[in-house]
Amino acid sequence: MGHYDGMVYEGSFRELRISLNRLIYDKGVKCPSCGKEYDSYSIEFEEHDGGLMFDKYGQKYWVWITCHNCKYQAALWKLFRQIKPSEIGIGILYVNVEKDWRDYIDEEFSRMKGDLDNAIARFARGLKGIEDRVIGIFGCDVEQVRGYLVAKVAREIFGTIADLSLVGMVEDESRSNQ
């Protein structure tokens, strides 16, 4: 199951570039890796069985945008949270009815994973700053400080997950009582 199942673009590479350039500028689209708005980038294509079908050429092509700030090559589908395929001119030929809800969750999660990875990386950098300041001020052992921070973060994360799960259970229960 691919990211472009059932999707087709009827125009040329040039037309897709023009459309993407306009949307990237108008919407202030950001690189999924560095988080900066694309101000310098290139749009590239390569023949690929799992790519977007270009009706004009009768073949599938992988489309990606290279951020010139961080050099990250973002597949076009990774930008679908910021730009809808229909805004680009990508049409849907069919809906794959063989998918079950687990496939849907897996696809949605993989789309969000980059955002999660970026948030965790930013958070880790912040924790490293705290760690360095505490060690510098108090002269503590690095393993002791790191252990305390990891335990604190784990308690917060699992507490938040538990809170969200409880909210979900309460919402489910209130729906079933209606």
Task: Give tens-digit pLDDT for 111-153.
Answer: 777 778 888 888 889 889 999 999 999 998 999 999 999 899 8
Least Cα distance to 103 among 18, 2, 35 occurs for 2
Task: Using the 3D structure, point to which of 92, 125, 147 is the last residue of a domain.
Answer: 92
Residue 40 within any structural domain of the chain: yes
The tokens of 137 are what?
């001020």
Q: Which position has the higher pLDDT, 53 or 101?
A: 53
Average of pLDDT values for 160-165? 78
Own/partner long-range contacts of 57-62 (Cβ < 8 Å, ≥24 apart): 60/4, 61/13
Residue 108 lies in a domain: no
H or E segment and range at residue 54: strand 41-54
Nearest to 83 by CA among 131, 42, 24, 149: 24
The Cα–Cα gap between 94 and 117 comes to 32
Under the banding of pLDDT at 50, 70 and 90, the label for residue 53 is very high
Alpha helix positions (H), the chain = 13-27, 85-88, 101-138, 142-176
List Cα–Cα distances, 19 to 36, 73, 93, 153, in angstroms. Answer: 20, 19, 20, 43
pLDDT given for residue 178 in this prediction:
57
Question: Within this chain, do residues 87 and 141 fall inside the same structural domain, yes or no?
Answer: no
What is the reported pLDDT for 2? Answer: 72
24 phi/psi in degrees, rounded to 5: -60, -45
- pLDDT number for residue 102: 80
Domain match, 86 and 39 both = yes
Judgement on whether residues 22 and 86 belong to the same structural domain of the protein? yes
Which pLDDT value is given to residue 115? Answer: 78
Is 30 part of a structural domain of the chain?
yes
Q: 108 or 44: which carries more pLDDT confidence? A: 44
**pLDDT at 35 exceeding the cut of 80:** yes
Domain span holding position 26: 7-92
Q: At what angle do helices 101-138 and 142-176 cross, to 10 degrees?
A: 150
Is position 103 within any domain? Answer: no
Residue 110: predicted pLDDT: 77
Residue 53 in domain: yes
1 within some domain: no
